[in-house]
Structure 1
């Protein structure tokens, strides 16, 4: 492929990894600062501002742990992408490891998209658990983004399999010549 694509791969690999680490650090910071935790809690649970949330230290710890666990799936996806970019930087375009990384990326997106409604529901329970009786909630909701992310994950898994076949054919062709 082109020199530009190789150069892009050189900086996109560490950028993907840095972004993954930054996601985790920002998540921890947002939950650690009480003034910011309510915004994150509402954002991740989908609760409107009219719904009371009680954020104790334990609630913030549980919410932070849940969101960090969910983000870990996305971090895994970003590290898989970094592996693809490293292969591109090395000038490898049909290497079997690329299909492995693409497959892992797709599975991570599928898991992230599929578990987002569950995480959202658990988050509503966590952030309203300390509310007075009658104000505790379990809200279950699905977003079109959840489905789109999961479908993109499935597509990436399928493309990973297709790329694996293409890499095998390319290797066979190299053996013939």
Structure 2
């Protein structure tokens, strides 16, 4: 024997989902804009000594940190941020669909999938850009002290796995949503 849920609890549950979706959507939009702006500001305007300290290289290596080197470092630092920002913008569209009560529709599925792709791409590009950035920051180092630093952490490996799994789930949901929308047209 099944009992029907009271309509009031369904409405309250839908309202909680809508509220959390909206709050999370706004946070995703703010972060999507703030990350690239913060990267541009930091790498574009921070004193060379600050950059050297953060990169754990001697400040003397950056005494001749010219505009070209700064622009290249800024571009490399932004390389992993941009796909993440795109993914966050796509997540915002998925969360808007959640807020509207359409969590299993095509917009929600593709938004979640694209967010996962953005996380995965960010993680891969972080590995590449970090290595290239170490070369740019050691550009003016004395002979024999130039660096190529490759950093892989457990966090990066976990984010690769999470990004890959969520991408697969997003693709599956997008396929299911497309089939459901196609079938709805025949009825």
CA distance in 2, matches of 1:170, 1:112: 31
1:6 aligns with 2:18: yes
Asked if 2 retains the 8 angstrom alpha-carbon contact of 1:52 and 1:135, the reply is no
**Where do 1:94-109 residues align within 5 Å?**
94-109=104-119
Q: 1:115 offset after TM fit, Å? A: 2.2
CA RMSD, Structure 1 to Structure 2 (Å): 2.7
1:120 aligns with 2:135: no
CA distance in 1, matches of 2:38, 2:82: 13
Q: 1:57 offset after TM fit, Å? A: 3.0
C-alpha distance after superposition, 1:107-162 (max 9, x if no partner)? 11121112222111101001001222222111223122221111111111111133
Greater length-normalized contact order (CA 8 Å, ≥ 6 residues apart): 1
1:34 aligns with 2:46: yes
Q: Structure 1's 49 and 29: CA in aligned 2 closer, same or farther, altered over 3 A?
A: same
Q: Max radius of gyration: which structure? A: 2
TM-score, structure 1 normalization: 0.83
CA distance in 1, matches of 2:143, 2:116: 42
1:74 aligns with 2:74: no
Q: 1:4 offset after TM fit, Å? A: 1.0
Gaps of 5+ in 2: 1-12
Aligned to 1:85: 95
Gaps of 5+ in 1: none
Equivalent pairs, count: 173
